[in-house]
Structure 1
Amino acid sequence: MGACFSSPTGGGSTDAEVLFFPDAAGMPCRQHLAGKECGRANCTYAHADTSLVRLLRRIDAASKTLDVCVFTITCNEIADAVVRAHERGVKVRVISDDEQANSTGSDLRAIADAGIPVRTDAASTHMHHKFAIVDGATLINGSFNWTRQAVLGNQENVVIARDAKLAGVFAKEFDSMWGKFRGNEYAG
């Protein structure tokens, strides 16, 4: 599942959470995710605090900005959380790989259709990053592609660190790529 820890760094502290996948409990129940009681007696979805639920809480906690830079997004629950952030008034930007943008199951069309700006790399190589920055101060980073396969099948990790200095390093990379990929807006 994962672990939380705090450790001192130069000039402050880092609060971090480490998540491991696959989630043995499976995909979370949508009612559980919404904080509602699940009325289905035979619901086969997880009603527990899984790694995916913990990741979604971090995305749902965004109040100002959410910059997402991931190779591919095919997990509907994660895409829905990104769209919810936008609907709350959070400034959301997404960068993804151009070859993955139109792949089977890609959620980039739904994200772009929601009014979220999406840019792709339009290159023969891959934009293979897997990170997000929440409110300029929390970094979500690891091996985890934002896919259902990563949630349920692959051996994956995610480190979520609340450290503005560390997040700032990734924000600089994000902004550099955002500028570099100007003109590569994904329209779906």
Structure 2
Amino acid sequence: MLDFDLNMEQIQKHPIVATISIAAGAILASEVIWKMVTFLQGQLSGKKPLRVHEVLTFNELGDICAAQHLRSPDLSKSPDAVVLQCRNQHCTLRNVGKIVEQIDQAQYSIDIAIYTFTSLPLADAFKRALQRGVNIRIISDREMVFSAGSQINVLASLGVPVRTPITTYMMHNKYCVIDGVERVEEIRLLKKRKWMRPCCSVVVSGSVNWTRQGFGGNWENCILSADEKLARMFQADFARMWKAFENSEDKLKPKI
């Protein structure tokens, strides 16, 4: 209290100091008010910052750093650290790692619609999700389920349900929906829970098949987005196909 009185006395004796102090206080107060207004506007609008919203491109520049990564002594210990340090903005390893990062954040569900899938890093991420109790479903093309190196077949052997269209037309989609709102609610009802922890819906979609050539040889794209409207639309498409292909599930037998 004594220090406060002394400071006030000094301010009163020095008009310039008083002016600077008042100005500084006004600036600080205005910043606090502005932050509060911005926060309230965000709450009222219902808009939340997206967890992820970016485009990954795969091209001829993706593997120019591959030899450097293979020589790195830290790659076997911490691949993520190597990826983050890579200066190649087109790095295949880093881009695949960004997809893996989204899979690793899944809490309740992952619905996959993929034409062909042989990528081991993605398969390992889905296995980790299964170990966390995440519900995974797969829709694929009937011929590609049992193709050489198919990780769909591997995941099916771990209990992941797989459905395909019974037709000569291709199921050519390449997307997955992580923690889709409708699917999470469906799981809540099935498990008879009163509530679920808050989660973020994310869509992974693009031209790229989840293969070594797709990620490291072709010119492809992949969008990662937490846009809720996009997630709902993709989730609705998956749900429609899942119901339409329900007769195919019992006919698919894993072959390891």
Deviation at 1:63, TM superposition (A): 0.8
Q: Is the 8 A contact 1:20 1:157 kept in 2?
A: yes
Q: Is the 8 A contact 1:33 1:53 kept in 2?
A: no
Deviation at 1:134, TM superposition (A): 0.7
Q: 1:37 to 1:100 in 2, by over 3 A?
A: closer
Determine which structure has the larger helix proportion and give its number.
2
Equivalence for 2:207: 143
- Show the 5 A alignment for 1:33-112: 36-37=77-78, 47-49=82-84, 50-112=94-156
After TM superposition, the score normalised by the length of structure 1 is: 0.81
Distance in 2 separating the partners of 1:74 and 1:175 = 24
RMSD over aligned Cα, in angstroms?
Answer: 2.5
Distance in 2 separating the partners of 1:33 and 1:11 = 41
Distance in 2 separating the partners of 1:33 and 1:146 = 22
Q: Match of 1:184, as an amino acid?
A: S
Distance in 2 separating the partners of 1:32 and 1:113 = 32
Distance in 2 separating the partners of 1:33 and 1:173 = 38
Determine which structure has the larger strand proportion and give its number.
1
Q: Match of 1:96, as an amino acid?
A: S
Q: Match of 1:104, as an amino acid?
A: A
5+ residue gaps, structure 2, are 1-44, 85-93, 181-200
1:16 paired to 2:53: yes
Distance in 1 separating the partners of 2:75 and 2:248 = 34
Q: Match of 2:205, as an amino acid?
A: N
After TM superposition, the score normalised by the length of structure 2 is: 0.61
Q: What number of residue pairs does the alignment pair up?
A: 170
Q: Match of 1:164, as an amino acid?
A: E
Query: Which one of the candidate residues 126, 144, 165 is aligned to 1:121?
Result: 165
Equivalence for 1:153: 217
